[in-house]
Amino acid sequence: MSNIRIASPVDIAISGMRAESYRMTAIANNIANAYTTRGQDGQPYRRMEVVLSSSDGMSGVTFSQAEPDTKTGFLRVHQPGHPDADAGGYVSMPNVQLPVEMMNMVTASRAYQAGAAVMKKQQEIVDVAVELLK
């Protein structure tokens, strides 16, 4: 029906907001695990990165599962007292860098706000159109 046609930009904005909120989830997980030395298979935690993709036409943004960042290496920190330290006293720390995560968090939250602004503006536009009936 015609009301779905009107709401189409709302759907797209919502898909963007959902993607940004998923990015925020990954960032929260990265920050929470910034010092996790015992992740899966005994390795330190690897930071997760959300990969966004756009589907056909103009139907918004989609995302699949977050993927681990295998391109940057673990940080070697000298902590001889740490239970996971090797013979030389070095511990492998996750490849999470808090300033980078903070920066990503700012962009994710700003993009979320942008999606909300698009939705609000679309509603205002519909209001303007309805105003013409008066």
Partner 1 sequence: MAGITPISGMGALTPAAAGALRPAVGGEGNVDFGQLLKTAVASADKPQENVVATIQDLLSGKSKDVLPAVQAMAKADMSFKLLIGVRNKVIEAYKQTMSMQL
Q: Which residues bind partner 1 (CB under 8 A)?
A: 1-8, 10-11, 14, 17-18, 21, 57-59, 119, 122-123, 126-127, 130-131, 133-134
Distance CA 102, CA 94 (A): 16
Least CB distance to partner 1 at residue 79 (A): 37
Least CB distance to partner 1 at residue 21 (A): 7
The residue among 71 and 134 lying less far from partner 1, judged by its C-beta, is 134
Least CB distance to partner 1 at residue 89 (A): 43
Least CB distance to partner 1 at residue 9 (A): 9
The residue among 57 and 81 lying less far from partner 1, judged by its C-beta, is 57
**CA nearest neighbour of 12 among 57, 66, 65, 64:** 57
**CA nearest neighbour of 94 among 118, 119, 70:** 70
The residue among 78 and 121 lying less far from partner 1, judged by its C-beta, is 121
| Half-sphere exposure at residue 77, Cβ-oriented, CA atoms within 13 angstroms | 16
| Half-sphere exposure at residue 112, Cβ-oriented, CA atoms within 13 angstroms | 14
